Amino acid sequence: MDVIKADILILGAGGAGLFAALHAYDRHPRLKIVIATKGLIGKGGCSRMVQGGMNVVLNEKDSLENHFLDTLKGGGFINNQALAWTLVSDAPKAVYELEVKVGCFFDRDEDGRIHQKPFAGQSFDRTVHVADLTGIQLISRMTDQIFARNIKVFEETRGLDLLTSKDGHRIVGALLSDIRTGEIFVVNSKVTIVATGGCASMYKISAPSFDKTGDGMAICFRAGAEFVDMEMVQFHPTGLVAGRSRLNGSLLEEGLRGAGARLYNGLGERFMERYDPERLERSTRDRVARSSFIEIMAGRGTVNKGVYLDASHLGAEFVEKKFPGMVERVKDIGKDLAREKVEVTPTAHYQMGGVCIDAQCQTNLKGLLVCGEDAGGVHGANRLGGNGICDSTVYGRRAGDTAALLALEEDLHPYQEAEAEKMRMRWLKPFLRERGENVYEIRSEIENLMWEKAGLVRTRLHLQEAAYHLENLIQKIDEASVADRYLARYNMEWNHIIDVANLITVCRMVVNAAKCREESRGAHYREDFPETDNENWLQNIYQKKGTAFQLELTKKPVLLSHFKRENIEDCFFERVKKKRTYTESCDGSTCL
């Protein structure tokens, strides 16, 4: 295998990976930095798909404390509070740098200030944006800056596994595959940053880009990294219903509901009046998504098993001006967002759980940094809209700074050549079989299994069934084969096998943690344990690889470093009081 030596290897080229590269380079331009991205730089990943914008405290009437408390409330108070505080306190610096250094210019008010719009779950309008196509602007400008620097980029190149040093004490790079040629090679590095994105594509209706299959998380798991709260998977309330089109499940951004768009069931009822009469459609994503799902499952959905999003009352001119990207997206399926209601459905969107990190993006494995959606702890049980790209930029910056310092301090440690060769041969197995399992059928099984057994509403029985079937699917994917055994170049069937192996790895952690958490909190809703239980479950669930690829699981109380338990109880008391006041006045058992 060819071997490339580097100071810093970055897997992933979304907002987190690109900002990490820029920061590392600007700290020390003589460092050799390598980026490997599964797609094309500036064109793939989920950061580019960000529509709504980024949360940041800029207005003197707002405060970091308010943003912090909104983040904790949204996260069901199981966030890593140190990470959440870092998120909100670093966000103003990140926005300033994005404009001044990177060249991302956000929309302005008439007085010249950056415009901030409303997003759900926030006590103040603090989301900065570029119309409803913020991600395209951010990633395009970051990519320009990458090209302006001496940073090596491998496009259409995927990470396969992390490599360990000969003494076994640290991560020293990764085994990679060039999708274009099929060649497998090594990047031996002082520091490795994993920022490849999440794994919501494990569900049959999902919003992420198609290259997001949990690669980074699976790679970190196999290397022995520790994970936190993997049961917490966010479903966005408004995924477009588009039949067999690839647009099915793609997002209609939250700013629509923030601006006043309404949700109706198939009977024409504004159903959020039943579930959150105070905030209605501006309730948090977990509650709106679950409410829509309940309406659909109760037979009150549309013919196509969705609900309606209606923005027409806001005025066609307003909608077309403020949400041009969404208008164009809906037009692609023959609908007019500005003038008629549109069918939407909950869609799997974001992974709150991930690799455990500290505020400098360091993990339990020396030499390995993780940032962006691969990392867990920042968002707790539910991420607020606008906090996602905030996370990517804040922790991408920090990962780059940390990597640069570590790369200057450390020597380049050699990797275990025998280990790398063993990994290479394992990934090449599908070419050695004349016949085997069909990977596309396995992928379909996973998507349906996770949607039905471990989706928006969960039970012990369904989760046990999911766990059992996933163990069988491990065996199936280990026996998958490719039709063209003599062509590795652009062999998408082979790459799909790698994708699915990684998907199963992440699915197992999600199901295992969901079985463990016997309560409902944030995005995790257990029908058999419908209440939030602060007495027993103000805890985080940790997992890592045990012997024979089994899962080791532990629970630890949430570290209340900033916001204390008595304050949490006060917040929950207010919620319960409001819920009871409303429940007494309605006759449905579906009130949350």
CA 33, CA 24: separation in Å to the nearest integer?
A: 8
- The number of residues in the chain equals 592
Q: Which of 118, 455, 114, 71 is nearest to 254 (CA)?
A: 118
Strands (DSSP E) found in 102-217: 116-117, 127-128, 152-154, 157-164, 171-178, 184-194
* Cβ atoms of residues 231 and 353 within 8 Å: yes
CA 562 from centre of chain: 25
Token pair recorded at residue 211: 């290259």
Mapping DSSP to helix (H, G, I), strand (E, B) and coil, where does residue 301 land? coil
**Partners of residue 173 on adjacent β-strands:** 188
The DSSP secondary structure of 229-263, one letter per residue, reads: -TT-EEEEEEEE--TTSTTTT-B--THHHHHT-EE
Mapping DSSP to helix (H, G, I), strand (E, B) and coil, where does residue 157 land? strand
Contacts of 231 by beta carbon, 8 Å cutoff, 6+ apart? 353, 510, 513, 514, 516, 517, 524, 541
| CA angle at 389 for the pair 387 and 391, rounded to the nearest 5° | 65
- Exposure string of 174-212, with b = 16+ CB inside 10 Å and e = fewer, is bbbbbbeebebbbbbbbbbbbbbbbbbbbbbbbbbbebb
Q: Which of 386, 365, 368, 388 is nearest to 378 (CA)?
A: 388
Helical (H) or strand (E) element with 5:
strand 3-11
Catalytic residues: 236, 257
CA 53, CA 386: separation in Å to the nearest integer?
A: 5
